[in-house]
Amino acid sequence: MATTPNKPAAANKSSQGFVYLPLIAGWLVPGAGHFLLGKWIRGLLIAVSIIAMFALGLAMQGKLYTSAQDILDMLGVAGDLGSGLLYFLSRAAGWGGTPVQTTVADYGTKFIVVAGLLNIITAVDAHNLRTGRKSS
């Protein structure tokens, strides 16, 4: 008699629901992917780090990339987009200095871009936790 083999609990868990939800949520809101997986402390640390980095970048009059005139601008837009809703809300509110005139403002621009890139790393980490590629 044919019987269905028992799958491990982790495999069953990873096949339930929309697999890409932590990835998308983590991209849109920093830390949300980890919150969805019940990793509260990690999610909180990630949210505080990325939101603080983004906010400090704005406070230093960092520039938000809005259009891609050349390859460097294109990379800047890609980095900024990594922050998800933070970027869209900031653009809608008109935050961020446009021309970089001081060294600190240039640092602020880098803070904003790196916050976005770090957010992409955390969203992928949440996805790996969800799929079981990362154990814990």
Partner 1 sequence: MHPSHFFAVLLFALFASTVFGITMRDTPPKMFRYGAYCFVLFVGSVIVFSWVMFFITR
* Residues of this chain that bind partner 1 (CB under 8 A): 42, 45-46, 49-50, 52-53, 56, 59-60, 102-104, 107, 110-111, 114-115, 118, 121-122, 124-125, 134-136
Nearer to partner 1, 67 or 136 (CB): 136
Least gap, CB of 108 to partner 1 (angstroms): 8
Least gap, CB of 112 to partner 1 (angstroms): 12
Exposed / middle / buried, residue 103 (Cβ in 10 Å: 0-12, 13-18, 19+): exposed
Query: Six-digit token pair at 45?
Result: 């640390």
Nearer to partner 1, 65 or 123 (CB): 123
∠19-41-46 over CA atoms, to 5°? Answer: 70
Nearer to partner 1, 5 or 99 (CB): 99
∠85-135-40 over CA atoms, to 5°? Answer: 45
Least gap, CB of 9 to partner 1 (angstroms): 18
Query: Six-digit token pair at 86?
Result: 């933070």
